[in-house]
């Protein structure tokens, strides 16, 4: 077991004033009982070194952080200290001594995390047990946004002995008594930066109220704006302006009449070799005017940047976008090069959108304030830039500051897909994987005597493992609706189902899907109250649901998917036909509903109803 490393120090972001004293993050919490058994992991092994001499004989560093698939982590250095960053929905932890936990009715999970704009959330949770014996414990929160490391203690019910309980060793990924190779899985962990994790019996670290101190910073975001705009074509400078210099590598060229014949604009581009000196000008900067978003000392924040650029046919393949910015600890960070925009050469003005995390407003090579400097591989013209901050408190908390952006051309893609098991039609839609918790059976001769069909049903107790096969999924083929990187789609889903008299009262309907929320993929759950209850008419019927904010990454299905179906305990309900229709907000199919003849059940669900 690795027990090396020395704590490197504590770095507080300059200019912040925090209220409510947080605990020392170089040591175990002060009420820790070192006579108990605790399993832990810490970056650099600093928690092992923090065990008092002669104590903690049963404090063992047996935890390890997994990575891969939907539980990707990366090694980062934040505030001068090593940590792990969760890059996906799950953060999975394996315990070498996992068999200790089934006999512990309440597990205290202690986390040392970086309290920044990315960490604040109300939907954090834990998944305990292996497939067939799963329990989810959710509703936990992170509140502080201080750009500091802080302790957080979560009390997790394990009365059923789920964690670490290897009931069926034959189930894949359960070798440490959990799922996907772990013991306890953190859920909705996207963006969390974690420096240490420890598992212990209830009370071993003290009580949650002893540790979970919510710290605040002297900053009222309601006194400032959330969206600044510069538009050189219309002469708009609302809190933002392009930064003009003579000399250096940030010179620009301003031109008239840029763009297609029907939409000529005034615009700017990087000077490249057309500057006033011999320096190649590959950068463009925009300065924030008059502290539009507030003082530089405020906590770091997630920014949304939208640029309108001319997608010049002569520059197809040229790349541009955010590059350098100041982040926590007043350190320069770099936006991932792979996430910049590549010109396609459409000959149109287009929008590009980027989300930049943990931005401090110090600015790179700007004397006042700025967000992110841009870099260009060619002379791309920009006519308009909007800069928005996603607040973590105040009246605009969580509000999208630039909601009207649609950086995607839908016209090359379809708006309809269908799977009809009875006729054998597979029109860019097919069954998802047949296994795990979404095992199914396809059978013939289903339905009333006058309308027998081939149809599919969930295994529900008759599959490989009878304890957990209550879901069904469908795979979207050939990127028929476009890539998963497109904006969230409004999706109408229609299912032909057998309204079996023997199943009257049983229910089915949409359950979980993925959605892009301010640049972060998150799981969302369709309201359970809006699922369908069978009436038992003995006929084939059709039901449709509409969800406004679906991302096609899918949940446990590939290559793409939409919304997973849920079925009640005895609801082995047969489905013969599935149809998906995307209702576009723009393009040649704008507003077209290929399933317009089917009324949604119970009514169309608008995006704001899902929060």
The predicted pLDDT at position 569 comes to 87
Provide the pairing of β-strand 520-525 with 227-231.
unpaired
pLDDT band at 18 (very low <50, low <70, confident <90, very high): very low
Residues 467, 322 share a domain = no
Q: Is residue 137 part of a domain?
A: yes
Encoded tokens for 417: 């897909």
Torsion, CA 307, CA 308, CA 312, CA 317, rounded to 10 = 30
68 part of a folded domain: yes
Whole-number pLDDT of residue 30: 95
Q: Is 160 found in the same domain as 63?
A: yes
Instruction: Report whether the peptide linkage leading into residue 238 is cis, meaning its omega lies within 30 degrees of zero.
Output: no
Phi and psi of 529, rounded to 5°? -65, -20
- CA angle, corner 90, sides to 38 and 395, nearest 5? 105
Pick the range with the lowest mean pLDDT from 97-106, 114-123, 462-471, 575-584.
462-471
Concatenate the DSSP letters of all residues of 508-577 into one string. EEE-EEEEEETTEEEEEE--GGGSEE----SSEEEEEEEEEEEBTT-SS-SSEE---EEE-TT----EEE
Per-residue pLDDT, 144:
86
Do 73 and 197 fall within a single domain?
yes
Check if the beta carbon of residue 285 is closer than 8 Å to that of residue 373. Answer: yes
Domain assignment of residue 12, yes or no: no
Average pLDDT over residues 317-334: 94
Is residue 7 within 8 Å of residue 50, measured between CB atoms? yes
- Within a domain: 3: no
Looking from the CA of 168 toward its CB, the CA atoms found within 13 Å total 15
> Residue 466: its pLDDT value, please?
57
Q: Yes or no: say if 5 and 46 are a contact pair by the CB < 8 Å rule.
A: yes
**Tokens standing for 183?**
């013991």
Domain end (from 217, 250, 265): 217
Question: Which has the higher per-residue pLDDT, 4 or 189?
Answer: 189
Q: What is the mean pLDDT of the chain?
A: 92
Last residue in a domain, options 217, 242, 273: 217
**pLDDT above 80 (res 132):** no
Q: Which residue has the higher pLDDT, 319 or 468?
A: 319
Give the per-residue pLDDT at 467: 57
pTM check: above 0.75: yes
Instruction: With cut-offs at 50, 70 and 90, classify the pLDDT of residue 435.
Output: confident
Per-residue confidence band for 406, with pLDDT thresholds at 50, 70 and 90: very high
Residue 16: predicted pLDDT: 37
The answer to whether residues 95 and 171 belong to one domain is yes
Phi, psi of 152 (to 5 degrees): -145, 130
Mean pLDDT of 438-443: 94
**Would the pLDDT of 520 be above 90?**
no
Q: Which residue is it, tokens 């082995």?
A: 572
Same domain, 192 and 341: no
CB 34 within 8 A of CB 51: yes
Question: Domain check: are 176 and 233 in the same one?
Answer: no
Whether residue 431 sits in one domain with residue 551: yes
The reported pLDDT for the residue numbered 168 is 83
Say yes or no to pLDDT of 602 above 90.
Answer: no
pLDDT recorded at residue 603: 58
Whether residue 343 contacts residue 317, with contact meaning beta carbons closer than 8 Å, is answered with: yes
The residues, any chain, with a CB within 8 Å of residue 506's CB and separated by 6 or more, are 533, 534, 567, 568, 570, 571, 573
CA 528 to chain centre: 22
pLDDT at 47: 97
Label residue 13 by pLDDT band (50, 70, 90).
Answer: very low
372 with 287: CB under 8 angstroms?
no
Same domain, 230 and 366: yes
Give 369: exposed, middle or buried? Use CB within 10 Å, 0-12, 13-18, 19+. Answer: buried
Q: Please tell me whether residues 183 and 253 are part of one structural domain.
A: no
| Banded model confidence at residue 606, pLDDT cuts 50, 70, 90 | very low
Per-residue pLDDT, 17: 39
Per-residue pLDDT band for 133 (boundaries 50, 70, 90) equals confident
Number of structural domains the chain divides into: 3
pLDDT for position 464: 76
CB within 8 Å of 71: residues ≥ 6 apart = 86, 88, 89, 90, 91, 92, 180, 182, 185
Any idea what the CATH number is for the domain that residue 346 is in? Answer: 2.60.120.260
The span from the CA of 550 to the CA of 560, in Å, is 12
| 374 pLDDT tier (thresholds 50, 70, 90) | very high
In this structure, of 164-173, 392-401, 437-446, the range with the lowest mean pLDDT score is 164-173
Which of 447, 310, 302, 436 is closest to 376 using CA atoms? 310
Percent of the chain with pLDDT over 90: 81
Residue 159 falls within a domain, yes or no?
yes
Query: How confident is the model at residue 568, as a pLDDT?
Result: 94
Give yes or no for residue 290 having a pLDDT over 50. Answer: yes
At residue 458, the 3 state secondary structure works out as strand
Confidence of residue 608 (pLDDT cuts 50, 70, 90): very low
pLDDT tier at 605, thresholds 50, 70, 90: very low
Query: Pick the residue with more confidence: 403 or 464?
Result: 403
Are 78 and 193 in contact by the 8 Å Cβ rule? The answer is yes
Which domain covers residue 32, as residue numbers?
18-217
Question: Considering 170, 192, 217, which residue would you say is the last residue of a domain?
Answer: 217
Which phi and psi (to 5°) does residue 533 adopt?
A: -105, 125
Distance (Å, whole) CA 401 – CA 319: 25
Q: Is the pLDDT at 535 greater than 90, yes or no?
A: yes
Cis peptide bond upstream of 559, omega within 30: yes
Does the pLDDT at position 278 exceed 60?
yes
> Higher pLDDT residue, 254 or 79?
254
Any domain includes 404: no
pLDDT band at 31 (very low <50, low <70, confident <90, very high): very high
Question: CA 218 from chain center: how many Å?
Answer: 29
* Tens-place pLDDT, residues 298-308: 999 999 999 99
The answer to whether residue 320 scores a pLDDT higher than 50 is yes
Work out the percent of the chain whose per-residue pLDDT is above 70. 94
Q: Is pLDDT above 90 for 611?
A: no
What is the CATH classification number for the domain harbouring 595? 2.60.120
402 lies in a domain?
A: no
Is the domain of 293 the same as that of 432?
no
| Span 410-433, average pLDDT | 97
Q: Is residue 572 part of a domain?
A: yes
Number of Cβ within a 10 Å radius of residue 524: 19
Same domain, residue pair 245 and 210: no
Q: Distance of CA 147 to CAs 121, 144, 275, 359, 397, Å? A: 15, 9, 39, 11, 17
Query: pLDDT category, 342, cuts 50, 70, 90?
Result: very high
Residues 247 and 339 in one domain: yes
Question: What confidence tens digit (pLDDT) does each residue in 446-486 have?
Answer: 999 999 999 999 998 887 765 567 899 999 999 999 999 99
């Amino acid at each position: 077991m690795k027990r090396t490393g020395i704590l490197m120090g504590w770095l507080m972001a300059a200019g912040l004033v925090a209220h409510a004293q947080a605990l020392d993050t170089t040591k175990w919490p002060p009420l820790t009982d070192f006579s108990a058994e605790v399993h832990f992991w810490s970056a650099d092994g600093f928690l092992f070194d923090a065990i008092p001499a002669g104590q903690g004989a049963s404090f063992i560093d047996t935890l390890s952080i997994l990575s891969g698939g939907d539980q990707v982590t990366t090694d980062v250095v934040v505030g001068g200290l090593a940590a792990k960053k969760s890059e996906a929905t799950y953060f999975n932890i394996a315990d070498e001594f996992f068999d200790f936990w089934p006999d512990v009715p309440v597990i205290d999970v202690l986390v040392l995390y970086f309290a920044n704009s990315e960490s604040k959330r109300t939907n954090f949770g834990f998944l305990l047990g292996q497939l067939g014996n799963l329990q989810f414990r959710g509703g936990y929160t992170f509140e502080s946004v201080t750009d500091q490391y802080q302790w957080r203690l979560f009390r997790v019910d394990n009365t059923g002995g789920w964690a670490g309980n290897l009931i069926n060793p034959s189930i894949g990924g359960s070798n440490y008594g959990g799922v996907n190779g772990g013991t306890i899985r953190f859920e909705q962990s996207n963006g969390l930066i974690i420096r240490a994790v420890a598992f212990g019996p209830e009370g071993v670290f003290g009580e949650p109220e002893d540790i979970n101190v919510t710290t605040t910073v002297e900053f009222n975001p309601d006194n400032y704006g959330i969206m600044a705009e510069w538009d050189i074509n219309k002469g708009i400078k609302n809190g933002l302006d392009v930064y003009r210099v003579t000399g250096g590598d940030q010179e620009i060229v301003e031109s008239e009449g840029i763009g297609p014949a029907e939409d000529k604009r005034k615009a700017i581009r990087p000077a490249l070799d057309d500057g006033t000196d011999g320096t190649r000008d590959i950068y463009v900067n925009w300065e924030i005017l008059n502290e539009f978003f507030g003082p530089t000392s405020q906590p770091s924040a997630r920014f949304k940047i939208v640029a309108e650029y001319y997608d010049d046919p002569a520059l197809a393949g040229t790349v541009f976008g955010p590059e350098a910015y100041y982040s926590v600890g007043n350190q320069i960070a770099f936006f991932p090069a792979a996430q910049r925009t590549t010109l396609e050469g459409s000959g149109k003005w287009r929008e590009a959108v980027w989300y930049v995390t943990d931005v401090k407003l110090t600015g790179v090579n700007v004397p006042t304030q700025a967000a992110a400097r841009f870099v260009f591989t060619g002379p791309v013209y920009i006519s308009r830039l909007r800069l928005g901050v996603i607040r973590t408190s105040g009246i605009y908390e969580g509000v999208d500051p630039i909601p009207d952006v649609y950086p995607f051309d839908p016209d090359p893609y379809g708006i309809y897909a269908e799977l009809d098991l009875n006729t054998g039609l597979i029109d860019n839609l097919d069954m998802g994987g047949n296994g795990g918790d979404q095992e199914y059976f396809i059978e013939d001769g289903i339905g009333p005597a006058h309308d027998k069909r081939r149809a599919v049903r969930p295994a529900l107790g008759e599959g490989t493992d009878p304890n957990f096969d209550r879901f069904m999924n469908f795979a979207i083929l050939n990127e028929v609706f476009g890539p998963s990187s497109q904006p969230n789609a409004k999706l109408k889903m229609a299912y032909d189902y057998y309204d079996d008299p023997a199943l009257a009262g049983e229910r089915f309907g949409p359950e979980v899907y993925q959605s892009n929320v301010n640049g972060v993929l998150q799981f969302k759950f369709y309201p359970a109250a809006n699922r369908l209850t069978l009436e038992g008419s003995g006929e084939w019927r059709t039901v449709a649901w509409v969800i406004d904010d679906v991302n096609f990454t899918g949940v446990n299905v590939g290559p793409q998917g939409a919304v997973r179906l849920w079925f009640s305990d005895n609801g082995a309900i047969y489905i013969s036909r599935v149809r998906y229709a995307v209702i576009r907000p723009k393009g040649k199919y704008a507003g077209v509903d290929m399933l317009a003849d089917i009324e949604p059940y119970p009514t169309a669900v608008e995006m704001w109803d899902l929060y």
